[in-house]
Structure 1
Amino acid sequence: MIPLFQPAPLKKQRDYRLLLSARAVSETGAEVSRLAIPLTAAILLGASPLQMGVLTAVTSLPYLLIGLQAGAVADRMRRHRPVMVACEVISAVAMATIPVAWIAGLLTVPWLIAMAFVVGACSVIFRAFNFPHLVTVVHESQRTEALAGFQSAFALASVGGPGLAGLLVQLITAPFALLADAVSFLVSAFLIRRIAAPEIHTPAPPRGMWIEIREGLHAVVRHPALRALCGCGITINFFGSVYMALFVLYALNVIDLPAGLVGALTAFFGVGGLLGAAVISRLVKRFGENRMLAYSVLLFPIDFVTAALASGPVWGKFLLLSASALISGMAVVCFSVCMGAITLRETPTELRGRVNATLTFMIQGVLTFGGLAGGLLGSLLGLRPVLWICTAGILLTIPWIWLSPLRHFSTQEAR
């Protein structure tokens, strides 16, 4: 469908720049907390392995507890922006309490766990409201480009955030480094508050929380394209979580990579993400979201196969893993951008919040189970065999997409 008018380029649209800047700042702050919170728990508070496991799990637990409800509430609301601002402010307060409690001598591991849960819950609610809010800021013809911009922000944060986190931890110690995350949440709230676009969302009539949640679930299960996206996302995140639970141990103890090089692989993945975000809009204009999605899943097994086969001199293993991380970063970002655009395209307006929440609930919630499965399988079978299991599992993403309607219709044809 040809738009009735040509909107201004995204980079010239003030509201989009504000929203993109808010996500970039917030994600960079989140990278700081991902390093500083575990360091605070392990080094300063002497957390046990069980406590460290719980601390990791509570960040994704809110997806399972309130993810579906958040989507139903988002569809009921006429305005999403005030809730998004409130989530950022509450997260800022939660992060700021950690250095304050440390100064007062009151900081404990349970307090860290509680604050991580609060921030995780705010993140779930924010995402549920941000997805339908995007359509009030960005014209339909520019959604893929907008989603690519967000992925660029996430990739930049993953490249620069760990270095900033390490610097702050060295300079002011882990608890006080979390003030950077608190400030990032406040800056994000301020930027979102300045968005001027009127919110035009028509709220869905309330018919009971569980009835509305079931409507979101049914919309995903019954729609062939959404069902394929959901199944593919669950498969990616489950086996990816198994892989990530063991990769550091595998890299250090099995293929003998130095710790510094293991960290550098994360940066290569982020650089790949930046490259993917830079090219995906142009590729979609040429091939369509559906075809790019189908092409992306073909690249997912590369990282797993490369890691499982890695051997030889350190420089050779590092170059091989770096190249695979670069390719995987590009593939993941291309897939994520196309998935978001297709979800917006295929979902009825009144169900966008619930469909997004259902997808998030299933796709993000499975991370907890994947991490636990990785630890168990690694203990029972050894590290390299589990990587081969992950390789076999990630291959299942291909039939999810290639045997669905997404394989046969390009975006242009669907429109």
Structure 2
Amino acid sequence: MSGGAQRHVSLFRQPRFRSFFVAHAISQFGDRISELAFPLLAVLVLDATPAQVSVLTALVWLPNLTGIFLGAWVDGRAHKKRLLVAADLIRAALLVTVPVAFAFDAGTLTQLYAVALLTGAASVLFNTAYPAFFVLLVPRSRYIDANSALSASRSVSFIAGPALGGVLVQALTAPVAILVDAVSFVASALGIGRIRPDHTARTARADDPEPGTLWHRARDGLRFTLRHPVLRASLGCTTTVNYFSFVFSALLVLFASRTLGLPSGLLGLALGAGAVGGLLGAVLAPRLSERIGVGRSIVAGAIVFPASISLVAVADGPLWARVGLLGAAEFFSGLGVMLFDVNLNAVNAAVIPDGLRSRVAGAYSTVNYGVRPLGALTGGALGTWLGLRPTLWIAAVGGILCVLWLLPSPIPKVRSLDDLDHPDGPQPDLTEAGRSSGR
């Protein structure tokens, strides 16, 4: 079937993608509840300080520093689906320990730190196995459409998840809300376990580990990423915006609850209402990329996403104004991040060779996600030293600087994925150099 004909067939008529979409949507919904419940549990029950809340956020992302080696290991495993299922079940088991401990008055901040660290490690396993699994679900011509659909489900979770999370925390306590996320991971594991991927000859070749030590294979992934002009600019941009967005996110719940004085339920509603922008961005991303080009859509999202933090920094006045500005900030943040993510993820998937997908994902996440705990810790330190509002302004201005990585790169000139060379074609300056270093 040609690429043009494939685009007229709904992705939801394809059983493999449909099953993964449902599993992904359930898991994302649970995540939104837990993301609100975890810091609220630390702040409201354990009376955590700004620095302690930032450490909790940092520990979730700290395991990404091992991604470069885990990705090299994952590339040598033939059954990526088993790794995805295992990662979901591990996260579910870890999260269950939180409500159990607090039910017996044994919950501590130390336990929350341990759960955050270990669930973060399981997430790294999932994220490094996912790219090689994703290309089994949809053809290259549908990467943007598939990312749009998955991102749309994530955005819907941001609409309903925080609102429900706030209600659950207020009515049934934060540990019960975290239990809901544990159940969502079990449901995700069951959904992914039902998928029967079509292992083509191309994929089988990608699953064969190349000769060389784990260190050499890990180095291949990092070298390919840094030498490829598209991936290098993509990594620099996402790393910059993630660092400053985590300076912001580490303080968001604390700022909203203590400085703005928003109760848990109203905070959840504000975040959920603002996430409508994410859904709109996910839906509009394919259409906007067709109209102005994939590259320009990425640049637009890279500016709008961090700039929205400034609306939170100026929030003040009556309760309706505080809630409104927080909701508006989330709306434009969601809109920008989806224009950015949907298109950039598709571009990255289109330029990475099959045999390097998990290695590149591991190297990419080591830098991109590894900087997040540094951002969170910076937010806690600056929030304590300068105050919360000045720190939010630093996050807004610093985040916008991410666009400086994109402008001199080939990305703004990309009209469609067809403008990009197929990753498994001849690339002597990049692929071959990476392969030779691994032997």
Give the alignment's TM-score, normalised by structure 2: 0.84
Q: Do the aligned residues in 2 keep the contact of 1:229 with 1:339 (CA within 8 Å)?
A: yes
2:425 match: none
Q: Deviations over 1:65-120 (max 9, x none)?
A: x2112211221122200111111112222222333444556544433332332221
Describe the shift of the 1:308–1:177 C-alpha distance in structure 2 as closer, same or farther (beyond 3 A).
closer
1:380 match: 385
3-state SS in 1 of match to 2:275 = helix
Q: Do the aligned residues in 2 keep the contact of 1:216 with 1:358 (CA within 8 Å)?
A: yes
Shifted more, 367-376 versus 137-146: the winner is 367-376
Q: Do the aligned residues in 1 keep the contact of 2:309 with 2:393 (CA within 8 Å)?
A: yes
1:270 match: 275
Q: Do the aligned residues in 1 keep the contact of 2:277 with 2:335 (CA within 8 Å)?
A: yes
Structure 1 stretches of 5 or more lacking a match?
A: none
Q: Do the aligned residues in 2 keep the contact of 1:78 with 1:199 (CA within 8 Å)?
A: no
| 1:413 aligned residue (405, 408, 419) | 419
1:184 match: 184
1:214 match: 219
Shifted more, 163-172 versus 192-201: the winner is 163-172
* Corresponding letter in the other structure for 2:62: L
Q: Deviations over 1:251-301 (max 9, x none)?
A: 5676x5644665444224311000011111222233332221122223235
1:245 match: 250
Describe the shift of the 1:301–1:93 C-alpha distance in structure 2 as closer, same or farther (beyond 3 A).
closer
3-state SS in 2 of match to 1:20 = helix
Q: In the alignment, does 2:405 pair up with 1:400?
A: yes
Shifted more, 353-362 versus 270-279: the winner is 353-362
Describe the shift of the 1:386–1:35 C-alpha distance in structure 2 as closer, same or farther (beyond 3 A).
closer
1:59 match: 60
* Corresponding letter in the other structure for 2:37: A
Describe the shift of the 1:373–1:405 C-alpha distance in structure 2 as closer, same or farther (beyond 3 A).
same
Describe the shift of the 1:313–1:90 C-alpha distance in structure 2 as closer, same or farther (beyond 3 A).
closer
Describe the shift of the 1:301–1:188 C-alpha distance in structure 2 as closer, same or farther (beyond 3 A).
closer
d(CA) in 1 for partners of 2:367 and 2:160?
29
Q: In the alignment, does 2:160 pair up with 1:160?
A: yes
Q: Deviations over 1:196-228 (max 9, x none)?
A: 222342223241111111111111111111111
1:38-77 → structure 2 map (5 Å cutoff):
38-41=39-42, 52-64=53-65, 66-77=66-77
1:223 match: 228
Shifted more, 222-231 versus 51-60: the winner is 51-60
Q: In the alignment, does 2:140 pair up with 1:140?
A: yes
Q: Do the aligned residues in 1 keep the contact of 2:85 with 2:193 (CA within 8 Å)?
A: yes
2:375 match: 370
1:294 match: 299
1:78-227 → structure 2 map (5 Å cutoff):
78-103=78-103, 106-200=106-200, 201=203, 202-203=206-207, 204-227=209-232
Q: Deviations over 1:27-82 (max 9, x none)?
A: 11222323334454555566677655443322111112x21122112211222001
Q: Do the aligned residues in 1 keep the contact of 2:22 with 2:191 (CA within 8 Å)?
A: yes
3-state SS in 2 of match to 1:299 = helix
d(CA) in 1 for partners of 2:38 and 2:397?
34
Describe the shift of the 1:187–1:278 C-alpha distance in structure 2 as closer, same or farther (beyond 3 A).
same
Shifted more, 334-343 versus 168-177: the winner is 168-177
* Corresponding letter in the other structure for 1:99: P
d(CA) in 2 for partners of 1:307 and 1:43?
22
Describe the shift of the 1:310–1:105 C-alpha distance in structure 2 as closer, same or farther (beyond 3 A).
closer
Shifted more, 51-60 versus 307-316: the winner is 307-316
2:29 match: 28
| 1:325 aligned residue (317, 325, 330) | 330
Q: CA deviation at 1:150?
A: 1.4
* Corresponding letter in the other structure for 1:209: L
2:434 match: none
d(CA) in 2 for partners of 1:44 and 1:311?
26
Describe the shift of the 1:321–1:100 C-alpha distance in structure 2 as closer, same or farther (beyond 3 A).
closer
Q: CA deviation at 1:393?
A: 1.4
Q: Do the aligned residues in 2 keep the contact of 1:133 with 1:199 (CA within 8 Å)?
A: no
Q: Do the aligned residues in 1 keep the contact of 2:50 with 2:251 (CA within 8 Å)?
A: no
**Number of residue pairs matched by the alignment:** 413
d(CA) in 1 for partners of 2:100 and 2:326?
41
| 1:343 aligned residue (344, 348, 358) | 348
d(CA) in 2 for partners of 1:297 and 1:112?
32
Q: CA deviation at 1:389?
A: 2.6
* Corresponding letter in the other structure for 1:350: G
Describe the shift of the 1:18–1:70 C-alpha distance in structure 2 as closer, same or farther (beyond 3 A).
same
d(CA) in 2 for partners of 1:215 and 1:327?
37
Structure 2 stretches of 5 or more lacking a match?
A: 422-439
Shifted more, 401-410 versus 169-178: the winner is 169-178
Q: CA deviation at 1:336?
A: 0.6
* Corresponding letter in the other structure for 1:115: V
d(CA) in 2 for partners of 1:320 and 1:76?
48
Q: Deviations over 1:177-212 (max 9, x none)?
A: 333222211111111011122234222324111111
1:277-288 → structure 2 map (5 Å cutoff):
277-288=282-293
Q: Do the aligned residues in 1 keep the contact of 2:56 with 2:116 (CA within 8 Å)?
A: yes
Q: CA deviation at 1:130?
A: 1.0
Give the alignment's TM-score, normalised by structure 1: 0.89
1:360 match: 365
Q: Do the aligned residues in 1 keep the contact of 2:307 with 2:397 (CA within 8 Å)?
A: no
Q: Deviations over 1:313-350 (max 9, x none)?
A: 66556545543432221110110111110111111111
d(CA) in 2 for partners of 1:310 and 1:205?
54
* Corresponding letter in the other structure for 1:167: V
d(CA) in 1 for partners of 2:51 and 2:393?
27
d(CA) in 1 for partners of 2:400 and 2:171?
44
Q: Do the aligned residues in 2 keep the contact of 1:276 with 1:329 (CA within 8 Å)?
A: yes
